Chain A
């Protein structure tokens, strides 16, 4: 067996650590002017979705090509 109990234990540890990281995030964000942080977030969203949508359009174009 894969040791499900120990996998769950490790996951719990990861989640507790992730909560500490959230505190660091919050402090980091507080130290930045809002415009900088918002722009970084917007860039990330735009890039990921932009890449996905560009691929989607390309693949649709291929499907309808003769």
Chain B
């Protein structure tokens, strides 16, 4: 695996997995519709090679108006199905209530995409300040800012999350702004004990 970081752009060369291929394919649908998006949480860690499995991939989409929402729904139905919505009305209702759509390839249930709406200030920051990963010189994948991702994993605080935070930190500590990690950790009120354990 080759990783080159230049500012907010990361060039990554690797053998892709089923999850990577799923993400590349799904990003293609969103790009065609001009929908701003960013992958967050567990997939970001797996993209860079951490050895753990996940079946759901979390993604934030920009706020969608009714027309864009309908376009997204009908575009998805060509190759995908929405696990927790069997009609456009249900899908719209879920969206309005801020409940994530779970989307998988037709005839599959795993892996699946968990489409989330940004809600908090930090969610919006994530959507508007992504890192761009150029995968194998041809696929562009937007991921959450690494500094915030590390702090957010520390905030979540389970063993798995802390291992994820440490993994990203170890991999990128010489390439990212540690001051920003500390800033986000402050915002999220991460305890001193956890900071010392991870950073």
Do B188 and A21 touch (CB < 8 A)? no
User: If A4-B188, A13-B98, A55-B49 touch, does A48 touch B19 (CB 8 Å cutoff)?
Assistant: yes
Q: Which of B122-176 contact A (CB under 8 A)?
A: 122, 155
Residues of A with C-beta under 8 A to B122: 2, 7
Cα distance A28–B14 when bound, in Å?
33
Verify if B1 is at the interface (C-beta below 8 Å from A). yes
Verify if A33 is at the interface (C-beta below 8 Å from B). no
Do A51 and B14 touch (CB < 8 A)? yes
Minimum distance in angstroms from A8 CB to a CB of chain B: 9
Cα distance A20–B98 when bound, in Å?
15
From DSSP, what is the main secondary structure of chain A's interface residues? Answer: helix
Select one of B2, B16, B18 contacting A44, CB under 8 A: B18
Verify if A54 is at the interface (C-beta below 8 Å from B). yes
The count of A-to-B residue pairs whose CB atoms sit within 8 angstroms is 82
Do A6 and B120 touch (CB < 8 A)? yes
Do A40 and B119 touch (CB < 8 A)? no
Verify if B72 is at the interface (C-beta below 8 Å from A). no
Do A1 and B187 touch (CB < 8 A)? yes
Verify if B110 is at the interface (C-beta below 8 Å from A). yes
Could you give, for residues 35-47 of chain A, a 1 whenever the CB lies within 8 Å of some chain B CB and a 0 otherwise? 0000011011101
User: If A41-B110, A51-B14 touch, does A2 touch B187 (CB 8 Å cutoff)?
Assistant: yes
Do A55 and B119 touch (CB < 8 A)? no
Minimum distance in angstroms from B91 CB to a CB of chain A: 14
Residues of B with C-beta under 8 A to A6: 119-120
Closest A residue, CB atoms, query B125: A2
Cα distance A1–B183 when bound, in Å?
10
Minimum distance in angstroms from B23 CB to a CB of chain A: 12
Select one of A21, A29, A44, A55 contacting B111, CB under 8 A: A44
Sampled A-B contacts (8; CB under 8 Å):
A1-B187, A2-B184, A4-B189, A6-B120, A20-B84, A29-B109, A40-B108, A48-B46
Contacts A7-B120, A24-B84, A48-B18 given; 7 further ones with Cβ under 8 A?
Answer: A2-B187, A6-B120, A10-B120, A25-B110, A47-B18, A52-B17, A55-B1
